[in-house]
Chains A and B, each alone.
Chain A
Amino acid sequence: MADDQILRLEKLRVETITGRVLVDDVDVTLKRGEILGLIGESGAGKSTIGLASMAYARAGMRITGGTITLAGTELRASTALYRRNSRGKSIAYIAQSAAASFNPGMTLMDQVCEAPVTHGVMGRAEAEVYARKLFRTLQLPSPDTIGARYPHQVSGGQLQRVMAAMAMSCRPDVIVLDEPTTALDVTTQIEVLALLRDLIAEFGTAGLYITHDLAVVAQIAHRIMVLRHGKLVECGETRQILEAPRTEYCRALVNERREAEHLVLSVPDKVAQPVLRVTGVTAGYGAGATAKGAIAVVKGASFDLARGETLAIVGESGSGKSTMARIVTGLLPRWSGTIELDGKALPPALAQRPKEVLRRLQMVHQMPDTALNPRQSLAEIIGRPVALFFGKSRAEVRVRVLELLKLVGLPEDFADRRPGQLSGGQKQRVCIARALAAEPEVIICDEPTSALDPLVAEEVLKLLKGLQDRLGLAYVFITHDLGTVRRIAHRTAVMLKGEIIAQGPTAEIFAPPFHPYTEKLISSVPEMHTTWLDEVLARRGGTAGLVAGAADRPADPATAAHLAAADPAAVAEAERLAAEQLLAEGRGATALDDLQVEVRNLKGMLEI
């Protein structure tokens, strides 16, 4: 074995205890300091391989074949104690969801120091000093005191960085990164990605970077391995995979991702009477606008939706876009404002709305897995609205169900299956069929493709588009994925902290002159060339510039002031953006309080 090979998996085979093969005959080699990207759809076995490189298998899985050689020692032939001691010490793990991967009852410092102290790498005091150094390297706010906090007291992006510090706490040889930025907003993703890359480079650590997003891995990996159904599809230099993929599957993956970067739809014809009109709607959680402790999540939102049109509502998590869906459907009664369907005002709450209104306004949820009753057959699921709204006989319902299945591209014999026997994409088709069963005019789609793999998601988008053309449906399409917006939306509304800050034809929203926030959002979406991250960082004045905005956490004003002083350019920029926004919305220069709030919001937006 060559000296610079730090990790080698040979003929790795992982099965479930029931004998289903998850990873089949996969070889992975990793040199010191090299980053290898593992790419694939869900179920491709990427995470399983990542965990197997630590000689770890999740409950219900077993490593049944092959060798795992870490720093010259074969782990499967070693003792359990040896394997345990190499975990955390020689090979460390960064998980996808930082919020779930931290023990809620322990301070961050306790959790970061646990591995070095347990493995005898450092004493507690030394480990703490080292942890603070890592916190500083990762540009966490108030690095000297943040360790005393509990996981729920820091933001998701910060927690993800603390997890990186935790992985680095023993200076491991190899680090396994399992979708470390997938759970983050696009604007946060950039900073975490840049910091992870710098951190890995600084320590000369080798990395196994697992993700489903080709554009993300293009920024960080030297080589890319593409997996499908537990088997290797293609492995090569990053540039080669992106520019000259050899296999059909890789080409499809690359093309799908590239298509997201181009606008497909043109501006629709103007229709006089909108089918759905939302005017000045405010709502949130709590007893009502005047109640104590009530928090408004959506503030004064207005938009129109014409027949046969798709309006995309985009924004980061917490911007209130999903709440918007709940307000329109009546699941969350609005506090003020009006919602009109075909010119008729709708009551705020679902329970007050007549059946006819419920029929005309349908919804497709984000998680098809949880939106379908696993104990009902598809015929029951889809047949229910048919029977409810149209009062048809059993035989007629059956006929209609088969029609609907055909409409969404599912075979008729699926009618008697249950959701458990379907794939994710098929389940989402069932959800769409259920919405169509009511013969609605408007369908609210709440992130209908974000739980699906890219290629499957594309199929579902095509289906929605086709149905719109044939049936003249209007969609309110809620998403955080700008690639999806480009492909499906005629018009787009951008939400920030509960307000719609920009809306218009998608082509205009996506073209200069941008609203500053929209520009930031757009420029944060990773693009399919290896130098994208560097270019964005260069444009924004490096990671330091980005993070200076984050310093404005009210939790620690002293450090905030210090950091802001260290980077006046970023603060000035934030203020300029705020002023621009104010002028754009014509609120006038007298609204000083508003200006300050905007500055805070914008700086918060820059926050990681």
Chain B
Amino acid sequence: MIRLILSRIGLGLLTLLAVSVVIFVLTQILPGDVASSVLGQSATPETLAAYRHELGLDRPAVVRYFVWLAGVLHGDFGTALTNGQNIIEVLWPRLRNTLFLAGYAALLALPLAVGFGILSAIREGRLTDRLANIVALLAISMPEFFVGYLLILNLSVNHEWFPSLATVGADTPFGERVWAVTLPAVTLTFLVTAHMLRMTRNSVLSTMSTAYVEMAFLKGLSRARVVTRHALPNAAAPIISVIALNLAYLVVGVVVVENVFTYPGVGQYMIDAVTKRDVPVIEACGIVFAAVFITLNTLADVTAIVLNPRLRHPR
């Protein structure tokens, strides 16, 4: 089992390496040229060349890739081309903000989704089940910016319960921070709950048709006990992988929500960089997103391995 886990982790690292190559290659073919966009239309070819040399853009791509990779491995993402800021210094607090928002949303969405998913399975076909499904579907059917503006309109403009802008600084106290990001967190919850809820419900229900669940019923156990003790543990693996996917989406997919609430997260930073063709920043954001995504999925795989009784207790 240990070997299986290690190989899974190794595979994750390998994927991350492959992603870094893809990100690097893709940013190279991004249209436009940093030098001309920074120096403006009036720059002469000589000044452009000199500027490119200064940035190291005239070296071969392979060399630049390894220089960049070595830097990343040392925690050095280089400096932003447009304003010369050290990327890691800007990125780190923003990443913390993004993770804070994602964590907050996960804290709301996870118990809601798994709890109602299990409840739906226990009360399959009854009112609770249908209601949970309809509400979850409604929530996922609305675009996130729409949900966001709807929340702003109702809860901050009409009632002034929450701020419409989630602007937080490095020194914002914790309580105020929570209050400020509540609306974006709720918006994200709307987005991810349905998927996890339906997966939990369906996964539990598919184990409900197994012979050992029938056996559990024939032993005279209550439906709640059968679901929680016999069906749920064996349904866990697919649920966990869907949860991991959604958690990753919470981090990676917040771009729109961050924009709606002008929240200083990584997504906003990345969009900014794309419009300015600031390649090192794009690369840094890309690799951070990829790392989060791959870490969460590897974690899900490892959890599924650990939960498998056949692997935990070999013959």
Residues of A participating in the B interface, judged by any CB pair closer than 8 Å:
51, 54, 56, 58-59, 84-89, 92-93, 95, 97, 100-106, 114-115, 118-119, 149-150, 152-153, 166
**B210 close to A100 (CB less than 8 A):** yes
Q: Would A89 and B220 be within 8 Å (CB), given that A102-B212, A104-B309 are in contact?
A: yes
The interface residues of chain A lying within 8 Å CB-to-CB of B29 are: none
Question: How distant is the Cα of A348 from the Cα of B315 in the complex, in angstroms?
Answer: 33
> Given A84-B222, A85-B220, A93–B215 Cβ distance below 8 Å?
yes
Contacts of A59 in B (CB 8 A): 209
B126 at the interface (CB under 8 A from A): no
Residues from chain B with Cβ under 8 Å of A166 in the complex: 219
Nearest Cβ distance between residue A257 and chain B, in whole angstroms? 28
Show 19 A/B contacts (Cβ-Cβ < 8 Å), sorted by A.
A54-B218, A58-B214, A84-B220, A88-B221, A92-B219, A93-B219, A100-B211, A102-B212, A103-B212, A104-B309, A104-B310, A106-B230, A114-B216, A118-B219, A118-B225, A150-B309, A150-B310, A152-B315, A166-B219
Nearest Cβ in chain B — how far from A319, in angstroms? 20
* Interface residue? B156 (CB, 8 A): no
Does B313 sit at the interface, judged by CB under 8 A? yes
Q: List CB contacts (< 8 Å) of B214-243 with chain A.
A: 214-222, 225, 229-230, 233-234
Q: Is the CB of B220 within 8 A of A95?
A: no
Q: Which residues of B contact A92 (CB under 8 A)?
A: 218-219
Within the complex, which residue of A54, A58, A152 is in contact with B309, where a contact is CB–CB below 8 Å?
A152
Bound-complex Cα distance A103 to B231 (A)? 9
**Chain B positions near chain A (C-beta within 8 angstroms):** 209-212, 214-222, 225, 229-230, 233-234, 307, 309-310, 313, 315
Contacts of A87 in B (CB 8 A): 217-220
B222 partner residues in chain A, CB cutoff 8 A? 84
Interface secondary structure of B, over-half rule? helix
Most buried by B among A84, A87, A103: A103
Partner of A153, one of B212, B220, B307, B313: B313
- Whole-angstrom distance from the CB of B69 to the nearest CB of chain A? 34
Nearest CB of chain B from residue A604's CB, rounded to whole Å:
15
Q: Which of chain B's residues have a CB closer than 8 A to the CB of A58?
A: 214
Instruction: Known contacts A58-B214, A93-B215, A118-B225; decide if A103 and B220 are in contact (CB<8 Å).
Output: no
Q: Do A114 and B221 contact each other (CB < 8 Å), given the known contacts A100-B212, A102-B212, A152-B309?
A: yes
A115 touches B220 (CB 8 A): yes
A115 touches B219 (CB 8 A): yes
Q: Contacting B234 at CB < 8 Å: which of A104, A150, A153?
A: A104
Contact B219 A114 (CB under 8 A): yes
Q: Nearest CB to that of A103 among chain B residues?
A: B212
B211 CB contacts on chain A under 8 angstroms: 95, 97, 100-101
Q: Which residues of A contact B219 (CB under 8 A)?
A: 87-88, 92-93, 114-115, 118, 166
Give chain B nearest CB distance to A284 CB in angstroms: 18
Give the residues in chain B near A101, CB-CB below 8 Å.
Answer: 211-212, 214-215
Does A86 lie within 8 Å of B220, measured CB to CB? yes
Q: Are B220 and A105 in contact, CB atoms less than 8 angstroms apart?
A: no
Q: How far is the CB of B126 from chain A (nearest CB, A)?
A: 15
Task: Kindly provide the distance from the CB of A49 to the nearest chain B CB, expressed in whole angstroms.
Answer: 14
Q: A89-B220, A118-B221, A152-B315 are in contact. Are A105 and B233 (CB under 8 A)?
A: yes
Q: Which residues of A contact B209 (CB under 8 A)?
A: 59
User: In the complex, A291 Cα to B284 Cα: how many Å?
Assistant: 44
Q: Are B218 and A105 in contact (CB under 8 A)?
A: no
Closest to A54 in B: B218
Tell me, in angstroms, the Cα distance from A105 to B229 when the chains sit together. Answer: 10
The answer to whether A56 and B313 have CB atoms under 8 Å apart is no
Please give, as numbers and ranges, the residues of chain B lying within 8 Å of A150 by CB-CB distance: 309-310, 313
**For the complex, what is the distance from the CA of A77 to the CA of B117, rounded to whole Å?**
33
Contacts known (A84-B222, A152-B315); A56 close to B309, Cβ less than 8 A = no
Find out whether the CB atom of B315 lies under 8 angstroms from the CB atom of A56. Answer: no
Give Cα A114–Cα B210 distance, bound, in whole angstroms: 18
Cβ-closest chain A residue relative to B221: A118
Please give, as numbers and ranges, the residues of chain B lying within 8 Å of A100 by CB-CB distance: 210-212
How long is the Cα–Cα vector from A365 to B218 in the complex, in angstroms?
34
CA distance A470 to B310 in the complex (A): 51
Which residues of chain B have C-beta atoms less than 8 A from A153's C-beta? 313, 315
Q: Of B215, B230, B310, which contacts A152 at CB under 8 A?
A: B310
With A59-B209, A97-B211, A153-B315 already in contact, the answer to whether A88 and B309 are too (CB < 8 A) is no
For the complex of A and B, the 10 pairs showing the least CB-CB separation, nearest first, are A88-B220, A87-B220, A88-B219, A100-B211, A93-B218, A115-B219, A101-B215, A103-B212, A101-B211, A105-B309
CB distance from A149 to the nearest CB of B (A): 8
Residue of A nearest to B314 (CB): A153
Q: In the complex, what residue of chain A is closest to B215 when comparing beta carbons? A: A101
- Asked if residues B218 and A103 are in contact (CB atoms below 8 Å), the reply is no
With A and B bound together, what is the CA distance between A87 and B220 in angstroms? 5
- Asked whether, in the complex, the Cβ of B217 is within 8 Å of the Cβ of A103, the reply is no
A515 to B221, CA, bound (A): 50
Chain B residues positioned under 8 Å from A105 (CB to CB): 233-234, 307, 309
A56-B212 contact in complex given A104-B309, A150-B313, A152-B310, C-beta closer than 8 Å: no
In contact, A56 and B218 (Cβ under 8 angstroms): yes
Which chain A residue has the least Cβ–Cβ distance from B313? A150
- In the complex the two chains form, what is the Cα distance from A152 to B212 in whole Å? 13
Q: How far is the CB of B39 from chain A (nearest CB, A)?
A: 60
Minimum CB–CB distance for B115 against chain A, Å? 21
Cβ–Cβ contact B234 & A102, under 8 A: no
B212 nearest CB neighbor, chain A only = A103
- CB contacts (< 8 Å) of B234 on chain A: these are 103-105
B212 contacts which chain A residues (CB < 8 A)? 100-104
A118 in contact with B215 (CB, 8 Å) = no
Q: Which of B230, B307, B315 is close to A103, meaning CB atoms less than 8 Å apart?
A: B230
Given contacts A89-B220, A93-B215, A150-B310, 5 further A-B contacts (CB under 8 A): A95-B215, A101-B212, A105-B309, A114-B219, A150-B309
Cβ of B236 to closest chain A Cβ, rounded Å: 9
**A92 CA to B313 CA, complexed, in Å:** 29
Of A86, A105, A106, A149, most buried by chain B (CB within 10 Å of CB) is A105
Q: How far is the CB of B154 from chain A (nearest CB, A)?
A: 43
Please name the residue on chain A nearest to B211 by beta carbon. Answer: A100
Bound: A93/B214 CA distance, A = 10
**Would you give the shortest CB distance from B151 to chain A, in whole angstroms?**
41
Most buried by B among A85, A86, A150: A150
Among B220, B307, B309, max chain A CB count under 10 A is at B220
Minimal beta-carbon separation of B5 from chain A (angstroms):
18
